[in-house]
Amino acid sequence: MARDLFLGTLGGTVSAMMILLMLLLMISMSLRLMLSRRKKAYFSLTFSLLLIAVQYFAIVLLGSRPGAHDGGVEHYLIHGLQALSFIALNVGLYQLYNPTKRKVTFLAYLGGLIAALIMGARYYAASQLFADPAAATATAQANAFLNVWMDIYLYIVIFFCFYFVTPSIGQSTKYQLALVVFFLTHSAAVLNGYVYGGASVGFSFAENFLPVVFFFIVFLFIFERVLELMQAVYQSSITDGLTGLYNRRYFMRRLEQLVLSGVPVGVIFTDIDNFKKLNDTKGHQQGDEALRKVAAIVMEIAEDIGLAGRYGGEEIVMIVSDPRQDTSKVAERVRARIEAEAGVTVSVGWAKHRKGLTAEQLTKQADEAMYFSKKTGKNRVTGYKPGLLVGMAAPKHLRGE
């Protein structure tokens, strides 16, 4: 019984059902993405997976895969669906990593048209040229001759994808592995059909179950790409596009979480000195470059001891969450490295959390300390203490105006 399931006539049905289960998972992912994001890549992917599902559902209904010498309608329909779905699948995988260009669309339609023409020619030959039931042997030979053209065409498509699609997508190793498995699957079917007349146990097993490996690799490919896209969307929602630092909203949320957890955090607030003058005299591009350099330094220092964010404009902030670190020394390290490496200077203020302070209040204290540095000479570090700005006109954002 077990032999029949894997090596007998039931092998094709068993493998088709396994593939249909994986296809169901992939279609649900692709369909959800298509409905939520409406990109051509998800449409192509969903369309190809549905075509493949139809192909394997037909195999389940038939009970086996048609052989090379078969001349029934089911053979060239399944054969044609295989070619069309393979082309559409590779277009979808390509579009997951690349924008859709006219050249790609043209090649996809051309590939599908050639497959459809081969299917049409095969149907015409079977129904008109070799329809005489009196010549059964000759008809079987003619069927093999006619069917081989779609097999040759599939080889051409496989090699085209291997050499021309691979360089344009991520996960290239995984993609090439999938193509190699598909090539071996197709070769097993060709050898079993044309050389052994479908009687080879080894090639039958490969023909039935290598597609399971192929679609498992495709599933991993799609799943990993979906994770990459989701991570990219999430990352863009919490980071600043210019500097790569966390944005203000995420920074404050993390600071609030740390404060509520009782972590003895420190906050460092930096502001680039004479930044407006830099933009006015040397241009915004030079200003952006200075901002990126400062951000890179702060991010590097914060990497193992906390996190860094862009608070707004030229203001960059850091959370020091490592209790072994002295916030004042970290602040001085930030100032000194920026002066030495970024070509600009910064005014720095810092504050340490005390019981009863909120995240907002702690940030405001560090901001006040930075403002004091800015008003008393710039390029210096100031630690917060009560009454720091007494007798000094605080800026509007610190006065709450």
Tell me what the mean pLDDT of segment 267-287 comes to: 89
What global pTM score does this model have? 0.72
Domain 248-385 has CATH 3.40.190.10: no
Strands 306-312 and 315-320: antiparallel
**Angle, helices 284-302/327-341, rounded to nearest 10 degrees:** 140
pLDDT at res. 138: 45
The CB density around residue 58, as the number of other CB atoms within 10 Å, is 16
Which CATH fold topology does 2-238 show? Answer: Rhopdopsin 7-helix transmembrane proteins (1.20.1070)
Instruction: Give the integer Cα–Cα distance in Å for 308 and 305.
Output: 10
**Highest mean pLDDT, choosing among 6-10, 146-150, 263-267:** 263-267
- pLDDT 10s digits, 210-245: 999 999 999 999 889 888 888 888 888 888 888 889
- pLDDT 10s digits, 80-136: 788 888 998 999 899 888 887 888 889 889 998 998 888 887 777 666 655 555 444
Mean pLDDT of the chain: 84
Residue 314 pLDDT > 50 = yes
Q: Please report, for the chain, the start and end positions of each structural domain, with discontinuous segments joined by +.
A: 2-238, 248-385
The residues, ordered by sequence, that sit 6+ positions from 245 with a Cβ below 8 Å of its Cβ are 239, 295, 298, 299, 308, 309, 310, 316
Percentage with pLDDT > 90 across the chain: 39
Which region among 93-97, 135-139, 361-365 has the lowest average model confidence (pLDDT)?
A: 135-139
The residue count for the chain: 401
- pLDDT 10s digits, 58-92: 877 765 555 544 545 556 677 778 888 899 899 98
